[in-house]
Amino acid sequence: MIKEMNYPMMHQVDNGGAPDENCTHDCSSCGVDCPSREGGIQKAKLNEHSSVKKVIGVVSGKGGVGKSMVTALSALAATRNGFRTGVMDADITGPSIPKMFGVHSKAMGSEFGILPEVTPTEISLMSINLLTENETDPVIWRGPVIAGVVEQFWTDVCWGDLDVLFIDMPPGTGDVPLTVFQSLPIDGIIVVTSPQDLVSMIVAKAVNMARMMNIPVLGLVENMSYIKCPDCGRKIEMFGPSQAEAVAVANGIKLLEQLPIDPVLSQEADMGKIEFNQGTQMESILEVLEDLGLKAE
């Protein structure tokens, strides 16, 4: 039977044996001696009716640099090239994936779990916006609750068979992204920055955080890198010559792509039509997928 899902109807994630069903996964504020404590946070279990070959986290040092845009464009490039693709919107306090894809319906549930929304090009999506009563309801939960919801997106959502799941990660290097990093089996991350952030320590912080957790950094994307003059097509670097290549080399990572500020992209995202974009942005992801051992059907 398929029924409509609301966040309060979701049950607690199977936490691998923690004794208390109200476990917040915040061991620092809990004295209970439980299996979750041993070796830190346990990895969440994937929904038993799903198989996901590779999980790629898309991260940024802060919000607003285009992390969701790069997630969406990567998913589009993957699905167009024959990979069974999903997007988990783990940016719980600033979810923008459903809006970009024009998805406004509520998620439905079945006996196998919560069903992701499937877009016309067959990308499976899950976001908190598909579970809250109104899209405009703010999420005002504390970190451990947010991290718990992301775990539920892994455990309770029936993703089906996916080649790759892109996770639009919570921004920054704080408590929530850290817990998500630790609790989901992420195969690698893509770091998204804007040109201004490249000159700061933000990229190095995100890269170091991943390395400290033994998560490979699959590449760097410089978003809003330049604009193209609509008359002559000349590339204008508004923030001076790009430092992306130098920063990638300094951090020992690959520069995957430099994306321009493209008014068509932002219009399509605002109108919920990103899926119909005809560009080739983020096709660099195909090499990443190949390096991870994935082959399109």
**Interface with ligand ADP by CB under 6 A: which residues?**
60, 63-69, 94, 96, 223-224, 259, 261-262, 265-266, 269
* 147 or 269: CB nearest ligand ADP: 269
* 90 or 147: CB nearest ligand ADP: 90
d(CA 14, CA 21): 9
> Residue 151 CB, nearest distance to ligand ADP (Å)?
21
* 63 or 188: CB nearest ligand ADP: 63
The pair of three-digit structure tokens given for residue 270, joined into one six-digit string: 């605002």
> Residue 100 CB, nearest distance to ligand ADP (Å)?
7
Task: Please answer whether residues 285 and 220 qualify as being in contact, where contact means their C-beta atoms are separated by less than 8 angstroms.
Answer: no
Task: Please answer whether residues 48 and 158 qualify as being in contact, where contact means their C-beta atoms are separated by less than 8 angstroms.
Answer: no
> Residue 269 CB, nearest distance to ligand ADP (Å)?
4
* 15 or 60: CB nearest ligand ADP: 60
> Residue 33 CB, nearest distance to ligand ADP (Å)?
39
* 58 or 210: CB nearest ligand ADP: 58
**Segment holding 117, helix H or strand E:** strand 117-118
> Residue 34 CB, nearest distance to ligand ADP (Å)?
35
> Residue 223 CB, nearest distance to ligand ADP (Å)?
5
* 163 or 197: CB nearest ligand ADP: 197
d(CA 193, CA 200): 10
* 228 or 295: CB nearest ligand ADP: 228
> Residue 87 CB, nearest distance to ligand ADP (Å)?
12
Helix count (H) and strand count (E) of the chain? 9, 13
d(CA 143, CA 149): 10
d(CA 150, CA 257): 28
- Dihedral sign computed on CA atoms, order 22, 27, 33, 36: positive
Which residue blocks in the chain are alpha helix, DSSP H?
67-80, 97-101, 143-155, 175-183, 195-198, 202-212, 244-250, 263-270, 285-291
Task: Please answer whether residues 151 and 44 qualify as being in contact, where contact means their C-beta atoms are separated by less than 8 angstroms.
Answer: yes
> Residue 99 CB, nearest distance to ligand ADP (Å)?
9
d(CA 160, CA 151): 17
DSSP tag of 157:
B
Residue type, 273: K
Q: What are phi and psi of 121, to 5 degrees?
A: -95, 20
* 88 or 158: CB nearest ligand ADP: 88
